[in-house]
Chains A and B, each alone.
Chain A
Amino acid sequence: MRKSFLFVVLAAMLALAVIPAFAQETVDVPVWIAFTDENRLGWAQDRAVEYNEMFPQYNVTVEGYANYEELFAATALAAEQGTLPAVVQYFEVATQDARDSGYFKPIAEAIGDRTDINGIAVNFDDFVGPVREYYTIDGVFTSMPWNTSSAIYFSNMTILDAAGVDTPPTTWAEIDAACELVMALETAPEYCWTFPNHGWFFEQWIAQQDEQFANNGNGREERATEVSINNDGSVALLTFLDEQLAKGYLYYSGAQGGDSWGTVDQAFSTQQVAMAAYSSSDTATYTNVGTDNGFEVVASFLPYNEVTGWTGNLIGGASLWLVDGLSTEVEDGALGFLLSINSTENAAAWHQLTGYIAVTTSANELLTEQGWFEENPNFSVAADQLAQSTITTATSGAIIGAFPSIRSVVTQAVDTALLTDEPVADVLAAAQEDANTVLEEYNLLNAE
């Protein structure tokens, strides 16, 4: 029953695949990314058009998915049905899943000894340190960096100035002090600050305190078998957030994960809050929303726990993975596109358009030469924050299986800590147990 059904579907797909092959001689190179906005999807599609014009033998098509999680699920389904594209954008937390899945081939392995692909030069050394480091797994350059960001802090300086706060807060205590002044204003906003309840911010704030997320060197030495989210750093973090909420400083929208971004956008752009932790990916949007609505927005490093000090922050964002088992023509077409998307001009333009850091040294030099960073200081914050970070096991970020599922356990814990009177330590202990069950089940199904 199942086989005959598959056969019918396969026959239909084969027919669909064969018919267009007669019509055209170009090689199709499908690329799946997790953006649907005109800004980012449109930009990638424009690059594909350029590339196809330069290399008429290829037909690169870029298709957008609503978010990382959805693309992640779509890729697993496509793999099951044997319909994977040539390139997939996977977010940083899917790294272990990507390795275990066996869907992908390391970029360095696909390139081999070649110094260029169809005349496009290969130069891994051009990628800035933290980025190259992050996407090199087991000593092999694995996936192509593209949208790389870090968690930073945006302040509405018009409100802060009115409250007598001259510079954005750099520590948790400074947030508290600034908020006291802001909320005392006659024209005080509804709340002082907010953050997206997304697992990434929890990870950032505990990494700042040099706390690991998982065992076995954050999963970088060996497969992680246990998470360690119940630690002093996370207790301090949730206690701080809970106090901020109780004082009426912190706005918590109740939205978790992917849904949480929009609620922060809305609160910050309508000036219901004076400050917000956010991803540097939207530096352009956040800066412009201030300009358009008559307030000044200044970006700064993500404030840290003054008791433990600042070790560093994590990279976030996603990279482009090359699917394994492609024909040589498709693979070369894909590699060429991946290299061209990070050409000096493209990497610089992508940074200017969004706020993702410029991933190559040459792009940074070009931008500096053009005076971009001097005119737009907000745009250098994320790169500076990553450059000044001390690379430790904790700040390298965790590599663990089922990370997307574990993130939802973490955001649930933050939700519970903020909305109930349960002691923070109990909430974290329960979350650690839940997350360990998920990880254990994942490893049962995936470990060698």
Chain B
Amino acid sequence: MTAQAPLLIHVIAALIGAVYLAWRFQRIQVSPALGGMIGAAAGAVGSAIFMLPLNYCTFESERSLIDAVFGVLLIGIGMALVVLPVDALIRSVVMRRRNPNMGGTAQAGAFKGWLLPIVFLAPTLIVLTLFLYYPSLDTFRLSTLLARLGARRTLFVCVDNFTSLVSDGDYLNSFVITIFISAAIVVLGLALALGIALLAYQPIKGARIYRTLLIWPYAISPVVAGVIFLLLFNPTGGIVNYALDNVFGIKIGWLNDPTAAPWAVIIASVWKSLGYNILFYIAGLQNVSKDIREAASIDGANVAQRFFSVVLPLLSPITFFLVITNMTYAFFETFGTIDYLTGGGPLNSTSTLMYNIYEVGITNNDLGKAAAQSIVLFALVIGLTVVQFRTSGNRVNYGA
């Protein structure tokens, strides 16, 4: 690589940043020249976020095309991380200047200075910095290394840990598995929970006892859920196969058949999160006003219509909330269940992204690749949450 190349990268980045902010500034009627200047600075800084620590290694001549493409992607992400917040910040400042009444004034009870709130926040901030932010940042460093616990040294491998994922069959496979298992857990879990909540919500005798009992599984840890279902699903001695054999004359290889094993994980996970979902749906159902239902009833809506056209839309905030929490649960917290139930097998059929990270990082002691995978997962979850907020957010009815 020539010595001018890094400079060239930043100049191009600055140009793009300048053009973008100039255009944005023009739209809010602020001097485009000012926008261009700020944009150039922000673009240049943004492009350096990843490239300086990596020392521009992705563009070295002996690296493959995919490394260079990944490098361009990193520059783009770095620029977005700086340019977009700068844009948003300046916009809000400008808007506040033009509309001084809009929100900007301090409310009663707010701190006047900045020192006192910092002091109060310090304990939390220190703990977060030491145990969350610093390790998270260190993950980025680790992801560029070939590293094993207990080894004599580490080697810098640029972005190999990331780009090798593209051709890693096991990893791509775990993507599909994660999507399948997560989608099944969310859809089945919520449908079942809503159905049970509708029954448990009825004002019948002993309803409180039923409700309490229904919520119990939530209090059990994912590991214990894994152990319980390990015993139930055991291919030779398990009670599930005993019952299936006696009633239908079939036996299912819950733990040693790659097509059945994901379902074992799904069933165990749905059962485990059921209590939580029921709890929220019962609360949601109790908030659906009786007047609305009666009104619908008077208008001639039958039971099904009342449910699908009135109750379900009114429950949408709860459903939206539950979709997000269940998605997070399916991504991260099924780990304990999988570890005890199937250990990611058979044939990696239950090795989700999260479990794959554990296998690569802990079982195989390959810290760099595991760090790279966890960063990809981190980016995915952020992306997923943003998409969910953008798409489902507008259709969610938060009521009056």
Report A's interface with B, CB cutoff 8 A: 1, 5, 69, 73, 75-77, 79-80, 97, 100-102, 190-191, 251-257, 259, 266-267, 270, 272, 402, 404-405, 408, 412, 415-416, 419-420, 438, 441-442, 444-446
Give complex CA distance A52, B364 in Å: 38
Given contacts A69-B363, A255-B255, are A441 and B146 in contact (CB under 8 A)?
yes
Inter-chain contact A405/B347, CB cutoff 8 Å: no
Inter-chain contact A416/B347, CB cutoff 8 Å: yes
Give complex CA distance A397, B261 in Å: 35
Across the interface, name the chain B residue whose C-beta is closest to A5. Answer: B130
Question: Interface on chain A toward B: helix, strand, loop, or mixed SS?
Answer: helix
Inter-chain contact B153/A445, CB cutoff 8 Å: yes
Q: Which of B106-127 contact A (CB under 8 A)?
A: none
Q: Which residues of A contact B365 (CB under 8 A)?
A: 73, 402, 404-405
| Chain A: minimal CB distance from B158 (Å) | 15
Give complex CA distance A266, B343 in Å: 17
Question: Interface on chain B toward A: helix, strand, loop, or mixed SS?
Answer: loop
Inter-chain contact B237/A272, CB cutoff 8 Å: yes
Inter-chain contact B256/A445, CB cutoff 8 Å: no
Given contacts A1-B134, A255-B255, A270-B237, are A405 and B363 in contact (CB under 8 A)?
yes
Inter-chain contact B346/A445, CB cutoff 8 Å: no
> Which of these, B149, B253, B257, contacts A77 with CB under 8 Å?
B149
Across the interface, name the chain A residue whose C-beta is closest to B350. Answer: A254
Given contacts A1-B134, A253-B255, A255-B255, are A445 and B343 in contact (CB under 8 A)?
no
Q: List 29 A-B contacts (CB under 8 A).
A: A1-B134, A73-B149, A73-B362, A76-B149, A80-B149, A97-B150, A102-B152, A191-B236, A251-B235, A253-B236, A254-B235, A254-B255, A254-B345, A255-B343, A272-B237, A402-B148, A404-B365, A405-B363, A415-B347, A419-B257, A419-B346, A420-B347, A438-B364, A438-B366, A442-B148, A442-B151, A445-B148, A445-B151, A445-B155
Q: Which residues of A contact B352 (CB under 8 A)?
A: none
Q: Which residues of B contact A266 (CB under 8 A)?
A: 234, 236-237
Give complex CA distance A257, B364 in Å: 12
Q: Which residues of A contact B147 (CB under 8 A)?
A: 445
Q: Which residues of A contact B258 (CB under 8 A)?
A: 419
Given contacts A69-B363, A254-B342, A419-B258, are A444 and B236 in contact (CB under 8 A)?
no
Give complex CA distance A57, B389 in Å: 66
Give complex CA distance A156, B155 in Å: 53
Inter-chain contact B153/A251, CB cutoff 8 Å: no
Inter-chain contact A255/B364, CB cutoff 8 Å: no
Q: Mark B356-390, 1 if CB is under 8 A from A, else 0.
A: 00010011111000000000000000000000000
Across the interface, name the chain A residue whose C-beta is closest to B340. Answer: A259
Q: Does B154 belong to the interface (CB within 8 Å)?
A: yes
Inter-chain contact B345/A415, CB cutoff 8 Å: yes
Q: Which residues of A contact B359 (CB under 8 A)?
A: 408
Q: Which residues of B contact A97 (CB under 8 A)?
A: 150
Looking at A79, A251, A419, the one whose CB has the most chain B CB atoms below 10 A away is A419
Q: Which residues of A contact B343 (CB under 8 A)?
A: 255-257, 259
Give complex CA distance A396, B226 in Å: 39
| Chain A: minimal CB distance from B168 (Å) | 11
Inter-chain contact A415/B236, CB cutoff 8 Å: no
Q: Which residues of B contact A253 (CB under 8 A)?
A: 235-236, 255-256
> Which of these, A69, A441, A445, contacts B152 with CB under 8 Å?
A445
Give complex CA distance A420, B256 in Å: 12
Q: Which residues of A contact B154 (CB under 8 A)?
A: 445
Give complex CA distance A270, B366 in Å: 39
Give complex CA distance A383, B237 in Å: 33
Chain B: interface residue total (CB-CB under 8 A): 34
| Chain A: minimal CB distance from B223 (Å) | 13
A-B contact count (CB 8 A): 96
Q: Which residues of B contact A416 (CB under 8 A)?
A: 347
Q: Which residues of A contact B366 (CB under 8 A)?
A: 405, 438, 441
A-B pairs with lowest CB-CB distance, top 3: A254-B256, A76-B150, A254-B346
| Chain A: minimal CB distance from B136 (Å) | 14
Inter-chain contact B150/A101, CB cutoff 8 Å: yes
Inter-chain contact A446/B236, CB cutoff 8 Å: no
Across the interface, name the chain A residue whose C-beta is closest to B236. Answer: A272
Inter-chain contact A256/B345, CB cutoff 8 Å: yes
Q: Mark B315-358, 1 if CB is under 8 A from A, else 0.
A: 00000000000000000000000000011011110000000000
Give complex CA distance A75, B149 in Å: 10
Inter-chain contact A445/B236, CB cutoff 8 Å: no
Given contacts A76-B149, A445-B152, are A190 and B236 in contact (CB under 8 A)?
yes
Across the interface, name the chain B residue whose C-beta is closest to A269. Answer: B237
Q: Which residues of B contact A441 (CB under 8 A)?
A: 146, 148, 366
> Which of these, A254, A402, A408, A445, contacts B146 with CB under 8 Å?
A445
Give complex CA distance A97, B148 in Å: 11
Across the interface, name the chain A residue whose C-beta is closest to B251. Answer: A190
| Chain B: minimal CB distance from A281 (Å) | 21
Give complex CA distance A241, B258 in Å: 18
Q: Which residues of A contact B364 (CB under 8 A)?
A: 405, 408, 438
Give complex CA distance A253, B256 in Å: 5
Q: Which residues of A contact B253 (CB under 8 A)?
A: 254
Give complex CA distance A16, B372 in Å: 37
| Chain B: minimal CB distance from A243 (Å) | 17
Across the interface, name the chain A residue whose C-beta is closest to B164. Answer: A437
| Chain A: minimal CB distance from B338 (Å) | 12
Looking at A254, A259, A404, A445, the one whose CB has the most chain B CB atoms below 10 A away is A254
Q: Which residues of A contact B256 (CB under 8 A)?
A: 252-254, 419
Q: Which residues of B contact A255 (CB under 8 A)?
A: 255, 343, 345
| Chain B: minimal CB distance from A175 (Å) | 19
Give complex CA distance A128, B293 in Å: 84
Looking at A102, A255, A438, the one whose CB has the most chain B CB atoms below 10 A away is A255
Q: Which residues of A contact B261 (CB under 8 A)?
A: 254
Q: Which residues of B contact A5 (CB under 8 A)?
A: 130, 134
Give complex CA distance A415, B257 in Å: 11
Q: Taking A101-B150, A442-B151 as given, write out 9 further A-B residue pairs in contact, using a Cβ cutoff of 8 Å, ordered by the A residue number.
A: A100-B151, A254-B256, A254-B257, A254-B345, A256-B343, A408-B364, A441-B146, A445-B147, A445-B154
Across the interface, name the chain A residue whose C-beta is closest to B137. Answer: A1
Q: Which residues of B contact A419 (CB under 8 A)?
A: 256-258, 346-347
| Chain A: minimal CB distance from B357 (Å) | 15
Across the interface, name the chain A residue whose C-beta is closest to B364. Answer: A405
Q: Which residues of A contact B149 (CB under 8 A)?
A: 73, 76-77, 80
Q: Which residues of B contact A442 (CB under 8 A)?
A: 148, 151
Across the interface, name the chain A residue whose C-beta is closest to B170. Answer: A412
| Chain B: minimal CB distance from A134 (Å) | 22
Inter-chain contact B150/A79, CB cutoff 8 Å: yes
Q: Which residues of A contact B345 (CB under 8 A)?
A: 254-256, 415
Q: Which residues of B contact A251 (CB under 8 A)?
A: 235-236
Give complex CA distance A5, B138 in Å: 14
Across the interface, name the chain B residue whose C-beta is closest to A420. Answer: B347
Q: Which residues of B contact A256 (CB under 8 A)?
A: 343, 345
Give complex CA distance A405, B369 in Å: 14
Across the interface, name the chain A residue whose C-beta is closest to B363. Answer: A408
| Chain A: minimal CB distance from B400 (Å) | 50
| Chain A: minimal CB distance from B250 (Å) | 14
